[in-house]
Structure 1
């Protein structure tokens, strides 16, 4: 790509495999979370209701997480 303010060249695809169409099996419990219930958002990892924003991490193990970002209304 070349523009008056930018020039770059791609490096190409160097590995010999693709992840397009790859299916990853996630724990069934990940599909049963009720997001309307704050007690199911997981562990508070940043922020607070008082600060106006919160981030929660629901850890299902083996690298499976649901991260929920909340913007609290005042």
Structure 2
């Protein structure tokens, strides 16, 4: 059981890294990091199309990653 969970954790980890790297940056530079974070916090920028799908897949994979990581430590 432990080996199966470890294999699933590795697969989810690689998929999560891949999905995060596929996402496009919202803004560039230091000024973009300051103002872009506020815009995203207050919901002025909405994700559409492929960005929306990647955003949702990232959320699902990150939750699955944490659940598998906790499950591996309990077994």
TM-score grouping bracket, smaller chain normalisation: under 0.3
Higher RCO structure (Cα 8 Å, ≥6 apart): 2
TM-score, normalised relative to structure 2: 0.25
Structure with greater proportional helix content: 2
TM-score, normalised relative to structure 1: 0.25
